[in-house]
Amino acid sequence: MVQKGITKENVLNYQTRWEILLALYDGKERSAYYITNRPSINLSISPVVDHLRILEEAGLVEGRDTSTSKMRRRHYKITEKGKNALYEYNKGIAEKIKVNPEMIDHMMKFLGSN
Amino acid sequence: MWWKVIGGDDDFFVIEIDTFRGEKVRVPFTSAPDSNIIMIAKIGGKFQGFYDPYLHKQATELGIWDAVLSHEALHCNQEFIAPYYPGIDLIPANIGIQEKYLVPNMIEDVVINHTIWLWEQSPFRCPKRFREQNLVEKIIRYYKLAPSFPSHNVGIDALQKWFLQAHMTALKGVQNIKSKDKHEKGIDIYVEDEKDKDISSAIISNIFRLLNGRATSLYEGAKHIIAFLEPKIPGYKSPLYETRYKGKVIPQFVPMDKSIISSIYHLLDIYFARTYNMDLHDMRKRVSQLIPKKITRGKKERDKIQQSGEEIHIDVKRDPGKKKLIFDLSLKPIKGNAASYFSVSSHEKGITVMDSEIEVDD
Protein backbone atom coordinates (compact mmCIF):
# COMPACT_ATOMS: atom_id res chain seq x y z
CA MET A 1 0.00 0.00 0.00
CA VAL A 2 1.30 3.39 -0.91
CA GLN A 3 1.71 5.93 1.85
CA LYS A 4 -0.80 8.74 2.23
CA GLY A 5 -0.08 12.39 3.01
CA ILE A 6 3.07 12.55 0.95
CA THR A 7 5.02 15.76 1.18
CA LYS A 8 8.30 16.96 -0.24
CA GLU A 9 9.91 16.23 3.12
CA ASN A 10 8.70 12.71 3.60
CA VAL A 11 8.55 11.44 0.06
CA LEU A 12 11.77 9.47 0.51
CA ASN A 13 10.91 8.12 3.93
CA TYR A 14 9.27 5.21 2.20
CA GLN A 15 12.07 2.78 1.57
CA THR A 16 10.88 1.62 -1.82
CA ARG A 17 10.96 5.13 -3.25
CA TRP A 18 14.42 5.63 -1.86
CA GLU A 19 15.52 2.34 -3.45
CA ILE A 20 13.93 3.34 -6.75
CA LEU A 21 15.92 6.56 -6.83
CA LEU A 22 19.09 4.60 -6.11
CA ALA A 23 18.25 2.14 -8.86
CA LEU A 24 17.93 5.05 -11.27
CA TYR A 25 20.93 6.97 -9.95
CA ASP A 26 23.19 6.02 -12.85
CA GLY A 27 21.06 8.29 -15.04
CA LYS A 28 19.85 5.60 -17.41
CA GLU A 29 16.24 5.23 -18.44
CA ARG A 30 14.68 2.20 -16.84
CA SER A 31 11.34 0.50 -16.98
CA ALA A 32 9.27 -0.35 -13.94
CA TYR A 33 9.94 -3.99 -14.74
CA TYR A 34 13.70 -3.46 -14.40
CA ILE A 35 13.20 -1.75 -11.05
CA THR A 36 10.93 -4.51 -9.82
CA ASN A 37 13.67 -7.02 -10.48
CA ARG A 38 16.15 -5.29 -8.19
CA PRO A 39 16.80 -7.56 -5.18
CA SER A 40 16.35 -4.65 -2.79
CA ILE A 41 12.84 -4.00 -4.09
CA ASN A 42 10.72 -6.89 -3.12
CA LEU A 43 7.44 -5.82 -4.68
CA SER A 44 5.29 -6.69 -7.63
CA ILE A 45 5.13 -4.30 -10.53
CA SER A 46 1.89 -2.58 -9.57
CA PRO A 47 3.05 -0.85 -6.36
CA VAL A 48 6.36 -0.01 -8.02
CA VAL A 49 4.45 1.81 -10.74
CA ASP A 50 2.50 3.63 -8.02
CA HIS A 51 5.72 4.74 -6.36
CA LEU A 52 7.16 5.84 -9.68
CA ARG A 53 4.06 7.91 -10.29
CA ILE A 54 4.49 9.60 -6.90
CA LEU A 55 8.15 10.28 -7.62
CA GLU A 56 7.24 11.65 -11.02
CA GLU A 57 4.63 13.96 -9.50
CA ALA A 58 7.26 15.18 -7.04
CA GLY A 59 9.60 15.87 -9.97
CA LEU A 60 12.22 13.42 -8.72
CA VAL A 61 11.99 11.21 -11.79
CA GLU A 62 10.74 11.90 -15.25
CA GLY A 63 8.76 9.41 -17.26
CA ARG A 64 8.61 8.93 -20.99
CA ASP A 65 5.96 6.97 -22.81
CA THR A 66 7.65 4.18 -24.75
CA SER A 67 4.53 2.20 -25.56
CA THR A 68 4.33 0.11 -28.66
CA SER A 69 1.25 -0.97 -30.52
CA LYS A 70 1.31 -4.20 -28.56
CA MET A 71 2.34 -3.02 -25.13
CA ARG A 72 1.88 -0.03 -22.89
CA ARG A 73 5.16 0.93 -21.37
CA ARG A 74 6.85 3.82 -19.67
CA HIS A 75 10.51 4.46 -18.99
CA TYR A 76 11.80 6.53 -16.10
CA LYS A 77 14.93 8.53 -15.49
CA ILE A 78 16.15 10.33 -12.37
CA THR A 79 16.14 14.14 -12.49
CA GLU A 80 18.65 16.50 -10.96
CA LYS A 81 16.00 17.29 -8.39
CA GLY A 82 15.82 13.58 -7.63
CA LYS A 83 19.56 13.34 -7.15
CA ASN A 84 19.48 16.36 -4.88
CA ALA A 85 16.61 14.90 -2.90
CA LEU A 86 18.56 11.71 -2.32
CA TYR A 87 21.58 13.72 -1.25
CA GLU A 88 19.53 15.93 1.07
CA TYR A 89 17.82 12.93 2.62
CA ASN A 90 21.12 11.21 3.39
CA LYS A 91 22.72 14.44 4.45
CA GLY A 92 19.92 14.83 6.98
CA ILE A 93 20.85 11.51 8.52
CA ALA A 94 24.54 12.45 8.55
CA GLU A 95 23.62 15.65 10.42
CA LYS A 96 21.62 13.65 12.93
CA ILE A 97 24.62 11.43 13.53
CA LYS A 98 26.80 14.44 14.10
CA VAL A 99 24.41 15.92 16.63
CA ASN A 100 23.68 12.59 18.24
CA PRO A 101 26.72 10.29 18.07
CA GLU A 102 24.82 7.69 20.09
CA MET A 103 23.03 6.94 16.86
CA ILE A 104 26.14 5.11 15.76
CA ASP A 105 25.84 2.80 18.74
CA HIS A 106 22.26 2.21 17.78
CA MET A 107 23.25 1.49 14.21
CA MET A 108 25.85 -0.95 15.38
CA LYS A 109 23.03 -3.12 16.63
CA PHE A 110 22.45 -3.91 13.01
CA LEU A 111 26.05 -4.90 12.70
CA GLY A 112 26.18 -7.20 15.67
CA SER A 113 27.00 -10.84 15.44
CA ASN A 114 25.07 -11.64 18.60
CA MET B 1 36.19 -5.41 -8.96
CA TRP B 2 33.21 -6.08 -6.75
CA TRP B 3 32.16 -2.48 -6.44
CA LYS B 4 32.14 0.61 -8.58
CA VAL B 5 31.17 4.21 -8.13
CA ILE B 6 28.21 4.96 -10.34
CA GLY B 7 27.90 8.67 -9.89
CA GLY B 8 28.14 11.58 -7.54
CA ASP B 9 30.58 14.21 -6.43
CA ASP B 10 32.82 15.04 -3.49
CA ASP B 11 29.91 15.29 -1.06
CA PHE B 12 27.88 12.38 -2.22
CA PHE B 13 28.33 9.34 -4.38
CA VAL B 14 26.74 5.97 -4.90
CA ILE B 15 28.59 2.69 -5.10
CA GLU B 16 27.22 -0.48 -6.59
CA ILE B 17 28.36 -3.64 -4.90
CA ASP B 18 28.30 -7.21 -6.15
CA THR B 19 27.54 -9.29 -3.10
CA PHE B 20 28.45 -12.87 -2.30
CA ARG B 21 24.93 -13.77 -3.29
CA GLY B 22 25.42 -12.37 -6.74
CA GLU B 23 23.09 -9.48 -6.09
CA LYS B 24 23.82 -5.88 -6.84
CA VAL B 25 23.40 -3.52 -3.92
CA ARG B 26 23.64 0.23 -4.27
CA VAL B 27 24.77 2.26 -1.32
CA PRO B 28 24.83 6.04 -1.15
CA PHE B 29 27.83 7.57 0.60
CA THR B 30 27.31 10.95 2.17
CA SER B 31 30.02 13.18 3.53
CA ALA B 32 29.71 13.82 7.23
CA PRO B 33 32.26 16.48 8.16
CA ASP B 34 33.87 16.09 11.60
CA SER B 35 32.02 12.88 12.21
CA ASN B 36 35.26 10.90 12.30
CA ILE B 37 33.64 7.98 10.60
CA ILE B 38 33.86 5.90 7.49
CA MET B 39 31.15 3.36 7.66
CA ILE B 40 28.20 1.63 6.12
CA ALA B 41 25.21 1.10 8.34
CA LYS B 42 21.74 -0.17 7.84
CA ILE B 43 19.25 2.45 8.90
CA GLY B 44 15.57 1.79 8.57
CA GLY B 45 16.33 -1.10 6.25
CA LYS B 46 18.49 1.06 4.00
CA PHE B 47 22.19 0.59 3.50
CA GLN B 48 23.79 3.97 3.94
CA GLY B 49 27.39 5.02 3.90
CA PHE B 50 28.98 7.98 5.64
CA TYR B 51 32.46 9.35 5.54
CA ASP B 52 34.40 12.14 7.14
CA PRO B 53 35.96 14.16 4.30
CA TYR B 54 39.06 14.65 6.44
CA LEU B 55 39.57 10.89 6.58
CA HIS B 56 38.74 10.67 2.89
CA LYS B 57 41.52 13.17 2.18
CA GLN B 58 43.99 11.30 4.34
CA ALA B 59 43.08 7.97 2.84
CA THR B 60 43.43 9.38 -0.64
CA GLU B 61 46.85 10.79 0.18
CA LEU B 62 47.91 7.41 1.48
CA GLY B 63 46.54 5.80 -1.66
CA ILE B 64 44.19 3.60 0.29
CA TRP B 65 40.80 5.14 -0.31
CA ASP B 66 39.85 2.36 -2.70
CA ALA B 67 40.95 -0.19 -0.15
CA VAL B 68 38.81 1.46 2.50
CA LEU B 69 35.81 1.51 0.20
CA SER B 70 36.47 -2.10 -0.74
CA HIS B 71 36.40 -2.98 2.86
CA GLU B 72 33.20 -1.07 3.44
CA ALA B 73 31.69 -2.73 0.40
CA LEU B 74 32.35 -6.11 1.94
CA HIS B 75 30.16 -5.08 4.84
CA CYS B 76 27.18 -5.26 2.53
CA ASN B 77 27.40 -8.99 2.33
CA GLN B 78 25.36 -11.30 4.46
CA GLU B 79 23.26 -8.50 5.85
CA PHE B 80 25.95 -7.45 8.30
CA ILE B 81 25.97 -10.75 10.08
CA ALA B 82 29.74 -11.02 10.05
CA PRO B 83 30.74 -7.43 10.03
CA TYR B 84 33.42 -7.08 12.66
CA TYR B 85 36.80 -7.75 11.22
CA PRO B 86 39.31 -7.40 14.02
CA GLY B 87 42.12 -5.25 12.81
CA ILE B 88 40.56 -4.31 9.53
CA ASP B 89 37.93 -2.31 11.28
CA LEU B 90 40.60 -0.60 13.27
CA ILE B 91 42.25 0.72 10.18
CA PRO B 92 40.42 3.94 9.50
CA ALA B 93 40.53 5.01 13.15
CA ASN B 94 44.22 5.58 13.23
CA ILE B 95 44.67 6.11 9.58
CA GLY B 96 47.46 8.61 10.14
CA ILE B 97 49.73 6.02 11.66
CA GLN B 98 48.53 3.11 9.69
CA GLU B 99 51.14 2.78 7.02
CA LYS B 100 52.77 -0.06 8.82
CA TYR B 101 49.56 -1.89 9.55
CA LEU B 102 47.50 -1.15 6.53
CA VAL B 103 48.25 -3.04 3.40
CA PRO B 104 47.33 -0.55 0.73
CA ASN B 105 46.57 -3.26 -1.70
CA MET B 106 43.02 -4.31 -2.12
CA ILE B 107 43.87 -7.92 -2.64
CA GLU B 108 45.13 -8.09 0.91
CA ASP B 109 41.86 -6.70 2.10
CA VAL B 110 40.12 -9.48 0.26
CA VAL B 111 42.41 -12.11 1.65
CA ILE B 112 42.02 -10.96 5.19
CA ASN B 113 38.35 -10.28 4.99
CA HIS B 114 37.66 -13.64 3.51
CA THR B 115 39.83 -15.40 5.99
CA ILE B 116 38.14 -13.69 8.86
CA TRP B 117 34.85 -14.20 7.15
CA LEU B 118 35.45 -17.91 7.28
CA TRP B 119 36.38 -17.59 10.87
CA GLU B 120 33.27 -15.58 11.61
CA GLN B 121 31.27 -18.44 10.22
CA SER B 122 32.63 -20.61 12.98
CA PRO B 123 29.99 -22.38 15.02
CA PHE B 124 31.71 -20.90 18.04
CA ARG B 125 30.93 -17.42 16.88
CA CYS B 126 28.02 -17.55 14.55
CA PRO B 127 24.69 -19.18 15.36
CA LYS B 128 23.63 -21.65 12.71
CA ARG B 129 20.70 -19.65 11.50
CA PHE B 130 22.98 -16.84 10.43
CA ARG B 131 25.51 -18.94 8.61
CA GLU B 132 25.81 -18.45 4.92
CA GLN B 133 24.95 -21.40 2.73
CA ASN B 134 27.47 -22.59 0.13
CA LEU B 135 29.93 -20.12 1.49
CA VAL B 136 32.94 -21.55 -0.26
CA GLU B 137 31.34 -21.44 -3.66
CA LYS B 138 30.30 -17.89 -3.06
CA ILE B 139 33.75 -16.89 -1.95
CA ILE B 140 35.30 -18.54 -4.99
CA ARG B 141 32.92 -16.67 -7.22
CA TYR B 142 33.59 -13.44 -5.37
CA TYR B 143 37.29 -14.07 -5.42
CA LYS B 144 37.19 -14.04 -9.19
CA LEU B 145 35.90 -10.50 -9.01
CA ALA B 146 38.85 -9.39 -6.93
CA PRO B 147 41.24 -6.94 -8.50
CA SER B 148 44.30 -8.52 -9.99
CA PHE B 149 47.25 -6.81 -8.44
CA PRO B 150 50.66 -8.35 -7.93
CA SER B 151 50.59 -9.65 -4.44
CA HIS B 152 52.75 -11.50 -2.03
CA ASN B 153 52.02 -14.05 0.55
CA VAL B 154 51.37 -11.86 3.56
CA GLY B 155 47.78 -12.82 4.23
CA ILE B 156 48.29 -15.09 7.20
CA ASP B 157 51.03 -12.93 8.60
CA ALA B 158 48.87 -9.84 8.38
CA LEU B 159 45.95 -11.68 9.89
CA GLN B 160 48.03 -12.70 12.86
CA LYS B 161 49.26 -9.20 13.39
CA TRP B 162 45.80 -7.81 13.26
CA PHE B 163 44.46 -10.57 15.40
CA LEU B 164 47.10 -9.73 17.92
CA GLN B 165 46.36 -6.05 17.69
CA ALA B 166 42.66 -6.56 18.10
CA HIS B 167 43.02 -8.64 21.20
CA MET B 168 45.60 -6.29 22.55
CA THR B 169 43.37 -3.32 22.00
CA ALA B 170 40.63 -4.92 24.01
CA LEU B 171 42.88 -5.83 26.86
CA LYS B 172 44.64 -2.52 26.87
CA GLY B 173 41.26 -0.89 27.06
CA VAL B 174 40.64 -2.84 30.23
CA GLN B 175 44.11 -2.09 31.43
CA ASN B 176 43.56 1.55 30.73
CA ILE B 177 40.59 1.60 33.05
CA LYS B 178 42.76 0.17 35.74
CA SER B 179 45.41 2.83 35.15
CA LYS B 180 42.82 5.56 35.15
CA ASP B 181 41.58 4.47 38.53
CA LYS B 182 45.07 4.87 39.89
CA HIS B 183 45.52 8.23 38.19
CA GLU B 184 48.35 6.82 36.18
CA LYS B 185 49.29 8.04 32.80
CA GLY B 186 47.15 6.48 30.10
CA ILE B 187 48.57 3.61 28.18
CA ASP B 188 49.13 3.93 24.48
CA ILE B 189 46.68 1.72 22.69
CA TYR B 190 48.94 0.50 19.96
CA VAL B 191 52.14 -1.40 20.02
CA GLU B 192 54.70 0.57 18.17
CA ASP B 193 57.93 0.44 20.05
CA GLU B 194 60.82 -1.86 19.44
CA LYS B 195 60.37 -3.79 22.63
CA ASP B 196 56.83 -4.72 21.79
CA LYS B 197 57.73 -5.53 18.27
CA ASP B 198 60.28 -8.02 19.47
CA ILE B 199 57.81 -9.71 21.75
CA SER B 200 55.04 -9.70 19.21
CA SER B 201 57.31 -11.29 16.64
CA ALA B 202 57.87 -14.20 18.95
CA ILE B 203 54.20 -14.49 19.69
CA ILE B 204 53.27 -14.20 16.05
CA SER B 205 55.60 -16.99 15.10
CA ASN B 206 53.95 -19.16 17.73
CA ILE B 207 50.54 -18.29 16.41
CA PHE B 208 51.78 -19.06 12.96
CA ARG B 209 52.90 -22.44 14.17
CA LEU B 210 49.42 -23.05 15.53
CA LEU B 211 47.85 -22.13 12.26
CA ASN B 212 50.42 -23.62 10.01
CA GLY B 213 49.16 -26.58 8.05
CA ARG B 214 45.62 -25.50 8.65
CA ALA B 215 45.45 -22.91 5.98
CA THR B 216 45.58 -23.13 2.27
CA SER B 217 46.01 -20.69 -0.56
CA LEU B 218 44.28 -20.55 -3.86
CA TYR B 219 46.34 -19.06 -6.60
CA GLU B 220 45.26 -17.74 -9.90
CA GLY B 221 47.92 -15.69 -11.53
CA ALA B 222 48.87 -12.96 -9.14
CA LYS B 223 45.79 -13.35 -7.00
CA HIS B 224 45.55 -15.49 -3.97
CA ILE B 225 43.17 -16.16 -1.16
CA ILE B 226 43.94 -17.88 2.07
CA ALA B 227 41.39 -19.90 3.93
CA PHE B 228 41.44 -22.24 6.84
CA LEU B 229 40.95 -25.91 6.36
CA GLU B 230 39.41 -28.43 8.66
CA PRO B 231 41.81 -28.23 11.58
CA LYS B 232 41.70 -31.90 12.35
CA ILE B 233 42.59 -32.95 8.82
CA PRO B 234 45.32 -30.58 7.69
CA GLY B 235 45.55 -30.34 3.96
CA TYR B 236 42.74 -32.78 3.30
CA LYS B 237 41.35 -32.51 -0.20
CA SER B 238 37.74 -33.34 -0.70
CA PRO B 239 37.16 -35.41 -3.85
CA LEU B 240 33.85 -33.64 -4.24
CA TYR B 241 35.44 -30.21 -4.27
CA GLU B 242 38.30 -31.43 -6.43
CA THR B 243 35.83 -32.51 -9.07
CA ARG B 244 33.85 -29.36 -8.84
CA TYR B 245 36.82 -27.05 -8.89
CA LYS B 246 39.00 -28.98 -11.28
CA GLY B 247 41.50 -30.31 -8.84
CA LYS B 248 42.20 -27.06 -7.03
CA VAL B 249 42.72 -27.24 -3.31
CA ILE B 250 39.57 -25.71 -1.99
CA PRO B 251 39.03 -24.74 1.62
CA GLN B 252 36.41 -26.89 3.19
CA PHE B 253 34.76 -24.41 5.35
CA VAL B 254 35.55 -25.44 8.88
CA PRO B 255 37.38 -22.62 10.59
CA MET B 256 39.77 -22.73 13.50
CA ASP B 257 38.63 -24.85 16.32
CA LYS B 258 38.12 -23.64 19.82
CA SER B 259 41.31 -25.06 21.25
CA ILE B 260 43.38 -23.15 18.72
CA ILE B 261 41.61 -19.93 19.54
CA SER B 262 42.15 -20.59 23.24
CA SER B 263 45.81 -21.28 22.60
CA ILE B 264 46.17 -18.04 20.70
CA TYR B 265 44.55 -16.14 23.53
CA HIS B 266 46.83 -17.87 25.97
CA LEU B 267 49.85 -16.75 23.99
CA LEU B 268 48.46 -13.27 23.77
CA ASP B 269 47.89 -13.18 27.49
CA ILE B 270 51.51 -14.09 28.00
CA TYR B 271 52.40 -11.30 25.67
CA PHE B 272 50.31 -8.79 27.59
CA ALA B 273 51.65 -9.92 30.90
CA ARG B 274 55.17 -9.34 29.61
CA THR B 275 54.22 -6.02 28.10
CA TYR B 276 52.77 -4.84 31.39
CA ASN B 277 55.57 -6.47 33.32
CA MET B 278 53.08 -8.49 35.28
CA ASP B 279 52.79 -12.06 36.31
CA LEU B 280 50.44 -13.91 33.97
CA HIS B 281 48.21 -15.05 36.80
CA ASP B 282 48.10 -11.55 38.31
CA MET B 283 47.23 -9.99 35.02
CA ARG B 284 44.37 -12.39 34.40
CA LYS B 285 43.19 -11.88 37.94
CA ARG B 286 43.16 -8.12 37.53
CA VAL B 287 41.28 -8.38 34.30
CA SER B 288 38.79 -10.70 35.89
CA GLN B 289 38.35 -8.28 38.78
CA LEU B 290 36.98 -5.86 36.26
CA ILE B 291 34.49 -8.46 35.21
CA PRO B 292 32.22 -9.25 38.14
CA LYS B 293 30.84 -12.41 36.58
CA LYS B 294 33.25 -15.22 36.24
CA ILE B 295 33.04 -16.85 32.88
CA THR B 296 33.30 -20.54 33.09
CA ARG B 297 33.02 -23.37 30.70
CA GLY B 298 30.07 -24.87 32.59
CA LYS B 299 26.99 -24.91 30.42
CA LYS B 300 24.55 -24.27 33.26
CA GLU B 301 26.34 -21.21 34.50
CA ARG B 302 26.85 -19.95 30.99
CA ASP B 303 23.15 -20.29 30.25
CA LYS B 304 22.33 -18.55 33.50
CA ILE B 305 24.56 -15.63 32.61
CA GLN B 306 23.20 -15.45 29.11
CA GLN B 307 19.65 -15.47 30.36
CA SER B 308 20.36 -12.70 32.82
CA GLY B 309 21.42 -10.56 29.88
CA GLU B 310 23.84 -8.72 32.09
CA GLU B 311 25.83 -6.09 30.34
CA ILE B 312 28.81 -4.17 31.56
CA HIS B 313 29.79 -0.99 29.86
CA ILE B 314 33.03 0.83 30.38
CA ASP B 315 33.63 4.16 28.74
CA VAL B 316 36.98 5.79 28.22
CA LYS B 317 36.99 9.15 26.57
CA ARG B 318 40.15 10.72 25.25
CA ASP B 319 40.37 14.04 23.47
CA PRO B 320 37.52 13.70 21.03
CA GLY B 321 38.30 17.11 19.56
CA LYS B 322 41.71 15.94 18.47
CA LYS B 323 40.37 12.82 16.81
CA LYS B 324 41.87 10.74 19.54
CA LEU B 325 40.43 7.52 20.66
CA ILE B 326 37.20 7.28 22.53
CA PHE B 327 36.84 3.85 23.87
CA ASP B 328 33.62 2.22 24.70
CA LEU B 329 34.32 -1.19 25.95
CA SER B 330 31.36 -3.34 26.58
CA LEU B 331 31.11 -6.83 27.81
CA LYS B 332 27.96 -8.69 27.14
CA PRO B 333 26.87 -12.24 26.78
CA ILE B 334 26.46 -13.53 23.28
CA LYS B 335 22.94 -14.79 22.90
CA GLY B 336 23.21 -17.68 20.56
CA ASN B 337 22.83 -21.39 20.72
CA ALA B 338 26.43 -22.09 19.86
CA ALA B 339 28.29 -19.21 21.40
CA SER B 340 30.12 -20.11 24.54
CA TYR B 341 32.09 -16.99 25.16
CA PHE B 342 31.33 -13.54 26.21
CA SER B 343 32.02 -10.97 23.61
CA VAL B 344 34.28 -8.08 24.35
CA SER B 345 33.53 -5.41 21.91
CA SER B 346 35.19 -2.12 21.69
CA HIS B 347 34.78 0.61 19.24
CA GLU B 348 36.46 3.85 18.69
CA LYS B 349 33.57 6.10 18.34
CA GLY B 350 32.30 6.34 14.88
CA ILE B 351 34.78 4.62 12.74
CA THR B 352 35.60 1.31 13.98
CA VAL B 353 34.21 -1.63 15.66
CA MET B 354 36.40 -4.32 16.95
CA ASP B 355 34.82 -7.42 18.27
CA SER B 356 36.90 -10.03 19.90
CA GLU B 357 36.29 -12.86 22.25
CA ILE B 358 38.13 -13.24 25.45
CA GLU B 359 38.15 -16.11 27.78
CA VAL B 360 38.87 -15.26 31.36
CA ASP B 361 40.03 -17.85 33.77
CA ASP B 362 39.89 -17.59 37.53
| Per-residue three-class SS string for chain A | CCCCCCCCCCCCCCHHHHHHHHHCCCCCCEEHHHHHCCCCCCCCHHHHHHHHHHHHHCCCEEEEECCCCCCCCEEEEECHHHHHHHHHHHHHHHHHHHHCCHHHHHHHCCCCCC
Which residues on B lie below 8 Å from A107 (Cβ)? 39, 41-43
The 3-class secondary structure across chain B, one letter per residue, is: CCEEEEEECCCEEEEEEECCCCCEEEEEEEECCCCCCEEEEEECCEEEEEECHHHHHHHHHHCCHHHHHHHHHHCCHHHHCCCCCCCHHHCHHHHHHCCCCCCCCHHHHHHHHHHHHHHHCCCCCCCHHHCCCCHHHHHHHHHCCCCCCCCCCCHHHHHHHHHHHHHHHHHHHHHHHHHHHCCCCCCCCCCCCHHHHHHHHHHHHHHHHHHCCCEEEEEECCEEEEEECCCCCCCCCCHHHHHHCCCCCCCCCCCCCHHHHHHHHHHHHHHHHHHCCCCHHHHHHHHHHCCCCCCCCCHHHHHHHHHHCCCEEEEEECCHHHCCCEEEEEEEECCCCCCCCEEEEEEECCCCCEEEECCCCC
Among partner residues B23, B26, B333, which is closest to A25 by beta-carbon distance?
Answer: B26
Q: In chain A, what residues touch B128 (CB-CB under 8 Å)?
A: none
Q: Are B46 and A97 an interchain contact pair (Cβ–Cβ within 8 Å)?
A: no
CB atoms within 10 A of CB A97: 24
- Give B15-57 pLDDT, tens digit per residue: 998 776 667 889 999 988 877 667 777 776 778 888 888 777 7
pLDDT over 70 (residue B306): no
- Which range among B63-77, B142-156, B323-337 has the greatest average pLDDT? B63-77
Instruction: Tell me which chain B residues have a C-beta less than 8 angstroms from the C-beta of A39.
Output: 21, 23-25
Beta-carbon-side half-sphere exposure of residue B233 (alpha carbons within 13 Å): 8
Residues B238, B137: contact at Cβ < 8 Å?
A: no
pLDDT per position as a tens digit, B200-212: 444 444 544 444 4
Taking one residue from A and the other from B, the number of pairs with CB-CB distance under 8 angstroms is 102
8 A C-beta contact, residue B265 and residue B242: no
Local confidence band at B7 (pLDDT 50, 70, 90 cut-offs) = confident
pLDDT at A72 over 50: yes
Question: Testing the interface with A: which of B26, B310, B330 to mutate, by most A Cβ within 10 A?
Answer: B26
A23 to chain B: which residues are within 8 Å by CB? 26
Q: Which pLDDT band, with edges at 50, 70 and 90, does A15 fall under?
A: confident
Please tell me which residue of chain B has the smallest CA distance to A89: B30
Strand pairing class (A61-65; B38-43) = unpaired
Distance from CA of A61 to the nearest CA of B (A): 16
The arrangement of strands across the sheet holding A30-31 comes to A30-31, A74-78, A61-65
Chain segment B249-296, per-residue pLDDT in tens = 333 333 334 444 455 556 555 655 555 566 777 756 655 444 333 333
Task: Verify whether the Cβ–Cβ distance B25 to A27 is below 8 Å.
Answer: no
Indicate the pairing of strand B24-31 with strand B46-51.
Answer: parallel
Contact between residue B26 and residue A25 where contact means Cβ atoms under 8 Å apart: yes
Alpha carbon of B358: minimum distance to chain A alpha carbons (Å)? 15
- Is the four-CA dihedral B120, B126, B130, B135 of positive or negative sign? positive
CB–CB of A27/B33 below 8 Å?
no
Higher pLDDT, B158 or B286: B286
- Of A26, A27, A111, which has the smallest distance from its Cβ to B83's Cβ? A111
The pLDDT assigned to A62 comes to 94
Assembly ipTM = 0.83
What was the pLDDT predicted at A74? 92
